[in-house]
Chains A and B, each alone.
Chain A
Amino acid sequence: MKKIDNSEQHAHLTTPTRLTGAEIVWATLAGEGVTDVFGYPGGAILPVYDALRKFPIHHVLVRHEQGASHMADGYARASGKVGVAMATSGPGATNLITGIATAMLDSIPIVCITGNVSSKVLGTDAFQEVDITGITLPVTKHNFLVNRTEDIAPAIRSAFQIAQSGRPGPVLVDITKDAQQGTAVFDFAAAKPRAYRPHPMLRVEDSGLAQAAELIRNAKRPIILGGHGISESGAMEQVRTLAERAQIPVALTLLGLGAFPASHPLNMGMMGMHGEAWVNHAIQEADLLIACGMRFDDRVTGSTSTYSLKSKKIHIEVDPAEINKNIKVDVALVGDLREVLEQLLPRISGRDGSAWLKTIDASKGVASVRDIKNLPDLGHLYAAHVIHDIWRITGGNAIVVTDVGQHQMWEAQYFHHEHPRSLVTSGGLGTMGFALPAAIGAKFACPEKEVWVVAGDGGFQMTAAELSTIVQEKIKINIAIINNGFLGMVRQWQQFFYDSNYEATPLISPDFVKLADAHGIAGRAVRTRPEVESAVNEARSASGTFLLNFLVEKEESVYPMIPAGASLHEMIRRPGKDPLLETPDDN
């Protein structure tokens, strides 16, 4: 990461100056505090790249534009700041889309800047022309087509405001080549967007707060459902205070992991499809759910018609369009989670929750006995053991960036996150190929942090070209490939729901260690459990990026599991007895 002296650049920001559109792009980004941009040049964005050398911004050359949008995403998730991706028109722009949709589904603030053909030929099917604002309309929070130089700075500044405000999300700014080449007076202050207007349907009323407090006071079996909104809003302390003061256990969504410490006695862990049966059972038995910054996603609720029918529900949520969308709630407090909890907490007094906590504790039974992390390896290498060992050895202090599939769920189950933003994972869109580029973005956001990629052999190959980016940028991350020779999660579904017809899921992969070596990256294959610790330590102590290829059991499945669309209490249990439904008291 090059150090750039930016002392003289501030002149642009304080004194209105005539600049080219290309220069305005960088000057505005610098003014917004951007230090790193992930991108790929091309014809329609060349003027912008030509102006880069004059500005204090580091550009990371990706190997595929999907990598750029994922890196911007990983940067944003790890830091809480806006990530920036850049691409040319046409295929450059369309390659960004998977990353944009990933950010949209998980409410991640990124700004994507694309070049487009000159405004004179817009709409003529010119070379590398594509209607990227039209294409990305449903997967961006907003987008801009800019064809006048003087509109560039206001558009980019608005993009930053929109990306971060309310419920965050991706914004795309498409700038025609002639707008980049033209000149205009750049006045950073004057380009400031009008004051952010909160969604007019935000509503936190005294009566709602009183009702919520009353429900909490009278609840016998309450549970806090914590989601991504906790870290997005920065409400970790407030949620913790609520839980501790009222003695309410906390279950988390996948994206909520880390927002409430895993080691906290009130933490129940992850809910939903691959949550523990006793967690889901407690949700079904609860008489009050306090949903904090989560959206009752189908992976969390299972069948909505049988979801937690005995409970009243309080929904604290920043997006009014989420209220009553999936699950009908009794009290909606529509606003920023931290602000709402600040208002609610004075009304919450100490409460004795011990009976319910005891019930939950008893319902865990000996489910943990059959939990693979507590079982001996018997000479096998299980993915769950590998991930649990990485957690143990790193002391849980790393940022873990996962791909999508079985390893992602094992990570969620066996890597215990204590801190927000320590798990970076694609929850909503479930984007395979996310891990490697997102980890590069996370490393740029937090250069001092230990960053681990945990990816499957399938997803890793989708974006493996970004290994070159790692080498070119001389960054250090650790890569753990959980290699089972299958598209494991799909294979698992085939096993459970398609009579073990393993169609198109067995997978031949390159020798990942040799692949790493070809890039100049060190690596090592790991075949047995006793090697895991030394391998993880070797990776951590290596000065550069290190790849570990864990050749794990081929046909392991993630347990327990709610089949898609089934009820929360109808889980497929861990093997050990008959493959029956798992209930909390079922040993």
Chain B
Amino acid sequence: MLHTFVAYVEDLPGVLTRVASLFRRLNININSLTVGRSERPGLSRLTLVCEASAEAGNRIRASLYKLENVVDVDDIAKDPAVTRELALIKISATPRNRSQIFDLVEVFRARIVDLTSESLMIEMTGVESKIEGLIEVLREDDGRILEICRSGKMTMRRGHHTSRVLKAMDAGGEEATEEDVDPVASLEERVTGESE
């Protein structure tokens, strides 16, 4: 199954290598990885998507937590969440066939962000299938797509969810008891993917 891990990691040199190296060691291919600043100074937030067995999710999450620079790990699995991807697509377009592209962009609720006499650039945000849809339509015309740049997935749980680990940290985590910092459902629930 597809696992989506959202992690807060320390913003330090080599941290991404440690995360990536864990997946390399487990012989798991990373489908998508996005990293950027989070709402917390000194912590980056990453979304990592990979294919692994349902049982593996718990172990991957536990192993991620064993990395000293990893502060919080959430396995989104099948829980309600918003997932978005950003794509920049450069296509060849002359003044003659531009209007056709404009229509397409309108239909897909994308945007034109650059325009020259020979090419234009489309920016599109959405779920993977929508972006795939636009690309597919653009591909119908051979040689039209010049470049594609995709961000990979970014995921956030729906609702007022904040990790108990992070909450405990805000409260001066040192004193937090294990029960307070435990953010997970039981192992069994994890494996079956039920939400907390």
Contacts and interface: CB of A to CB of B under 8 A. Distances in A.
A203 B187 CA distance: 9
B179 to A, nearest CB: 9
Contact of B178 (A198, A321, A332): A198
Contact of A145 (B14, B73, B183): B14
B2 interface: no
B182 interface: yes
Nearest to B181: A200
Contacts of B170: none
Given A133-B14, A195-B174, A200-B165, A324 B59 contact: yes
Contact of A321 (B14, B63, B184): B63
A540 to B, nearest CB: 44
B21 interface: yes
Interface string B35-67: 000000000000000000001001101110111
Interface residues of B, number: 28
Contact of B62 (A162, A195, A321): A321
A577 interface: no
B66 A321 contact: yes
Given A321-B63, A332-B187, A200 B55 contact: no
B68 A142 contact: yes
A201 B186 CA distance: 10
A320 B65 contact: yes
B25 A138 contact: yes
A328 B191 CA distance: 11
Contacts of B25: 138
A321 B174 CA distance: 23
A197 interface: yes
Given A138-B25, A142-B68, A162-B68, A199 B62 contact: yes
B17 A199 contact: no
B65 A201 contact: yes
Contacts of B67: 142
A350 interface: no
Chain A: interface size category: 20 to 34
Nearest to A321: B62
Interface in A178-224: 194-195, 197-205
Contact of A203 (B17, B65, B182): B182
Contact of B65 (A199, A328, A335): A199
A205 B184 CA distance: 13
Contacts of B181: 197-198, 200
B182 A199 contact: no
A479 to B, nearest CB: 37
Contacts of A556: none
Contacts of B182: 200-203
Interface in B12-26: 14, 17-18, 21, 25
Interface in A285-323: 319-321, 323
Given A137-B21, A200-B165, A323 B187 contact: yes
B18 A137 contact: yes
B2 to A, nearest CB: 20
B65 A324 contact: no
B21 A324 contact: no
Contacts of B80: none
B173 interface: yes
B183 A200 contact: yes
Contacts of B174: 194-195
A325 interface: yes
A376 interface: no
Contact of A197 (B21, B173, B191): B173
Given A137-B21, A194-B174, A324-B58, A199 B14 contact: no
A203 B18 CA distance: 25
Contacts of A324: 55, 58-59, 187, 191
A134 interface: yes
Contacts of B58: 320, 323-324
B64 to A, nearest CB: 9
Most chain A CB neighbours (cut-off 10 Å) among B66, B67, B174? B66
Nearest to A204: B178
A186 B191 CA distance: 48
A332 B59 CA distance: 13
Contacts of A142: 67-68
Interface string A120-143: 000000000000011001100110
A403 to B, nearest CB: 28
A321 B56 CA distance: 10
Contacts of B178: 198, 202-204, 335
Most chain B CB neighbours (cut-off 10 Å) among A137, A203, A205, A320? A320
Nearest to B24: A138
Given A137-B17, A201-B182, A202-B178, A325 B59 contact: yes
Given A195-B174, A198-B178, A332-B187, A323 B21 contact: no
A203 B165 CA distance: 14
A119 to B, nearest CB: 12
A194 B176 CA distance: 14
A130 to B, nearest CB: 15
Interface string A137-164: 1100110010000000000000000100
A141 B22 CA distance: 12
A201 B62 contact: yes
Nearest to B175: A195
A203 B17 CA distance: 29
A134 B65 contact: no
Given A134-B17, A201-B62, A202-B178, 6 more contacts: A199-B66, A319-B66, A320-B65, A321-B63, A323-B62, A335-B178
10 contacts: A145-B14, A200-B72, A200-B181, A201-B65, A203-B186, A203-B187, A204-B178, A319-B62, A323-B58, A335-B178
Closest 10 CB pairs of A and B: A320-B62, A321-B62, A195-B174, A142-B68, A321-B63, A200-B165, A200-B181, A201-B62, A321-B59, A199-B65
